[in-house]
Amino acid sequence: MEKDVTFFEKVFEVVKLIPKGRVTSYGAIAGYLGTKGSSRMVGWAMNSSHHSTANIPAHRVVNRNGLLTGKHHFGSPEIMKQLLESEGITVENDQIVSFDKYFWNPATELND
């Protein structure tokens, strides 16, 4: 039976499951949750992640183009890039290099 968990909670769970050195997209998470149309809410959940005490690796979540769209929401646009590079991910021009190589699809990784 499903809990009264909201879209936010689901997003947090998936984001926290993202392995180090990997990245995913808002649409991928939304699609995995079955709400592809609510890709916007995924980003909104990330915004709430700062308010949440849980450690949410929001820097591992980027848009479909691998662009660091939400970098500005980390307090400083450099934080997101530094965090990604700290995990071995190359970021150039606010965009992840070989994004498809670092891309982590929950629907594929979490699903057998």
Partner DNA sequence: TTGCTGACCGACG
Partner DNA sequence: CCGTCGGCCAGCA
- Summarize as ranges the residues that interact with DNA (CB under 7 A): 6-8, 25-27, 35, 37-44, 46-50, 58, 61, 63-65, 69-71, 73-74
**Shortest distance in whole angstroms from residue 60 CB to DNA:** 10
Q: Tokens in use for 90?
A: 């190359």
- Where do the H-state alpha helices sit in the chain? 7-16, 26-33, 39-51, 77-86, 99-102, 106-109
- Give the CA count within 13 Å in the CB-facing half-sphere of 30: 19
**Shortest distance in whole angstroms from residue 34 CB to DNA:** 9
CB nearer to DNA: give 51 or 112: 51
CB nearer to DNA: give 27 or 90: 27
